[in-house]
């Protein structure tokens, strides 16, 4: 495993013990972006864990389908329209994560001649493949996941290849050309690694509140809030409030501008966190909803439910930046800094 791959592994998976990353957790993440057969604008998730990537992609995908596509029936899409919408969405998220367009983008894919064959598919897909009239090449199939026994954790990281230095137009062309890679086995992980290397490992470490916390929990396999925020806002901050706050002399980073799609969580009702207006009132009425164990997406076409930040919301946000513990007042010591 190259030194760069090791850095990515440490950031994403943490520093696993001698036993390495759990085979069952890695297997859960080895799926592609697969459209549901019955809901043509919906992405399928087959096992717990990758919703931290799939849900943000689904949210941006719906944004592009509902508000950027000239069609009255948002639930009907041809395969070519699915291809265009998915690749446009992946490009948009990569562009948002890019710290500086001058540094270019990075796409992680299979090394030449190393693309693995899919061995695990849904029952219906296996039946289709068994049909004698099926002449679709392997890379054209819609795999769900690759058995970890065939492509283990170490093997996966040994057959990766990265492409760098693309312009925005070049990025979109490359993403489109890799459509079958994104929908094939490990497409979710390949895209996640692409976002991380486009953003820059050091940039992500500077934004994460706890650098010892991996983006994917090594015990339960779920994605961290930093991972969700990276895909939603382009910044891997650990908090969901507006702006930065200072608490006991430590600066805690939050969301710095109105997001295109929002985020809500049941944890707020339990007072474990507080979601700011930048995520509660995004540019488009689409929200990722976090529960104790899963991320879902809900949406509407009613634009009146969202809007730019009002003067009162702006005043409340500025006040809270001086009142990080929600005491309802600003300490005199903080006011003194601006005298």
Catalytic amino acids?
51, 294
- Three-state SS letters, 224-246: CHHHHHHHHHCCCCCCCCECCEE
Enumerate long-range contacts of 202-208, CB under 8 Å, 24 or more apart.
203/99, 203/236, 204/11, 204/230, 204/236, 205/11, 207/235, 207/236, 207/237, 207/253, 208/236, 208/237, 208/238
d(CA 139, CA 43): 19
């Amino acid at each position: 495993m190259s030194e760069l791959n090791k850095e990515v592994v440490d950031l994403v998976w943490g520093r696993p013990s001698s036993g390495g990353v759990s085979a069952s957790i890695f297997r859960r993440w080895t799926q592609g972006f697969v459209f549901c057969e019955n809901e043509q604008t919906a992405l399928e998730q087959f096992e717990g864990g990758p919703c931290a990537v799939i849900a943000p992609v689904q949210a941006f995908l719906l944004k592009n389908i509902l508000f950027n596509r000239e069609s009255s029936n948002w639930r009907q899409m041809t395969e070519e329209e699915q291809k265009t919408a998915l690749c446009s969405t992946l490009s948009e998220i990569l562009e948002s994560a890019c710290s500086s367009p001058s540094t270019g983008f990075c796409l992680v894919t299979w090394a030449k001649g190393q693309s693995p064959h899919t061995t695990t598919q849904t029952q219906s897909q296996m039946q289709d493949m068994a049909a004698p009239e099926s002449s679709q090449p392997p890379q054209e199939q819609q795999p769900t996941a690759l058995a970890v026994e065939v492509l283990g954790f170490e093997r996966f990281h040994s057959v990766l290849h990265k492409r760098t230095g693309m312009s925005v137009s070049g990025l979109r062309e490359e993403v489109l050309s890799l459509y079958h890679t994104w929908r094939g086995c490990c497409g979710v992980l390949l895209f996640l690694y692409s976002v991380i290397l486009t953003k820059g490992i050091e940039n992500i470490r500077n934004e994460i509140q706890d650098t010892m916390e991996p983006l994917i929990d090594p015990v339960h396999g779920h994605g961290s809030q930093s991972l969700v925020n990276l895909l939603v806002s382009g910044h891997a901050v650990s908090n969901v409030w507006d702006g930065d706050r200072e608490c006991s002399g430590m600066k805690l980073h939050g969301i710095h501008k109105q997001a295109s799609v929002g985020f809500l969580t049941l944890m707020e009702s339990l007072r474990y966190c507080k979601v700011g207006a930048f995520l509660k009132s995004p540019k488009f009425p689409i929200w990722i909803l976090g529960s104790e164990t899963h991320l879902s997406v809900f949406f509407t076409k009613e634009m009146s439910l969202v809007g730019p930040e009002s003067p009162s919301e702006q005043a409340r946000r500025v006040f809270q930046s001086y009142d990080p513990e929600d005491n309802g007042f600003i300490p005199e010591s903080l006011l003194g800094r601006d005298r």
